[in-house]
Every structure is written in structure tokens, then in C-alpha cells.
Amino acid sequence: MEEQDPYKQLGKVGLCTENEYRYVGELIKSYAPCNVLVFGLGSDSNIWNDLNKDGKTVFIEDNFIYLRNYKHLNTFPINYTTQRVRWKELLQDTDKLYLTLGEEIEGSHWDIIFIDGPKGFHKYTPGRMQSIFNASNLSYSNILLHDCDREVEKTYFETFIGKPTHTQERIFHFETEA
């Protein structure tokens, strides 16, 4: 029996394309076992966790339904305090972007940080401003951002992280120099 391609399956049900899933997955595999931090839970979470076997994978999530459905994973519940509609004003008032992420997250070096949450497609969703800002303040080797085609995500990434060193469709990837 032929083994199923997990990226092809995710590309049919998830919010990333097959190529975007493959890009993230191959990066995780190249570092595994390692430390992976993911902002957001969803249909791809089990794969990220499985690819990093024997590593530390932590998921930050604000949706209690996802937290309940993925309680077998290492999750960190968060309460975002922003609305996407206020993104320009928050660029000037970064004190409102800080999150308390705890010692496990703030005190670790992350080989890969993947920002794929919270929701940012509607003006009253939290937007990814706090995720991007707080990720930029952590110790990391790689930060990936999904939905970089959206103005808010692109602006926050370039403001707080920098110009991407790589892109894959709607993913910005910033890799620190070794």
C-alpha cells in the first residue's frame, strides 16, 4: 500500500497550500529534534509535533475549542488583547503588544517559530500583531509567518523582524545568521 503524503492531505483541508506545508515541514525535519514554537493550533498541529519527535513543540492558542481538541499536545493558552482594526495605532504604542508567555517560552531558544495565529482576516479578530511582536523578542534561529500577503502581517514582520530571507508563496521566513 502506498504511503499517503501528509502535506498533500493538509493542502486539501488546511489553510496553507501543499507547498507551504511542505516548506514548514521540511524545515522542522532539518532541525529535529529541536525547539519549535507555533502560534496557532489546527489541522497541521499533529504533523508539526510528529516531525519534531523527541524535541520540544509548544503551541500558543486563544481558541478554547482548539485547546480542548488538541489537549494531547503541549499547548499554552493565551488571551490576545488587540483587534486587527487598530494595527496602525499599535505600531506607535508597542507597550500594548506585550504578552506574558512564561519562562518555558521566554527562557528558551527556539530553532523555529511559526506564526500562523491568531485569526487576522477580519478587522475585529485579534490579528497577528502581538504574535509577531512577541516572537521578535524571543531567542530564535528561524521565524516563519503565514499570510504575509496581508498588509498587517507584512508590515509587522518587516517592522519587528526584518526583510524575509526566504519566501514560499504566502510564507515569510527570516533566518538568523549562524
Note whether residue 116 is domain-resident: yes
- Which domain range does residue 22 map to? 6-175
Give the per-residue pLDDT at 142. Answer: 98
Q: Look up residue 143 and give its three cell numbers.
A: 521565524
Structurally, how many domains does the chain consist of? 1
Comparing CA positions, the residue from 104, 101, 98 lying closest to residue 35 is: 104
Instruction: Specify the pTM.
Output: 0.93
Note whether residue 104 is domain-resident: yes
pLDDT in tens, 50-107: 999 999 999 999 999 999 999 999 999 999 999 999 999 999 999 999 999 999 999 9
Note whether residue 1 is domain-resident: no
pLDDT in tens, 12-42: 556 788 899 999 999 999 999 999 999 999 9
Give the per-residue pLDDT at 178. Answer: 54
Average pLDDT value for the chain:
92
Comparing CA positions, the residue from 53, 37, 39 lying closest to residue 131 is: 39
Note whether residue 127 is domain-resident: yes
> What is the domain-level CATH number for residue 42?
3.40.50
> What is the percent of the chain with per-residue pLDDT over 90, rounded to a whole number?
84
Residue with the larger pLDDT of the pair 126 and 13: 126
Contact 60, 37 (CB under 8 A): yes
Give the per-residue pLDDT at 1. Answer: 44
Note whether residue 37 is domain-resident: yes
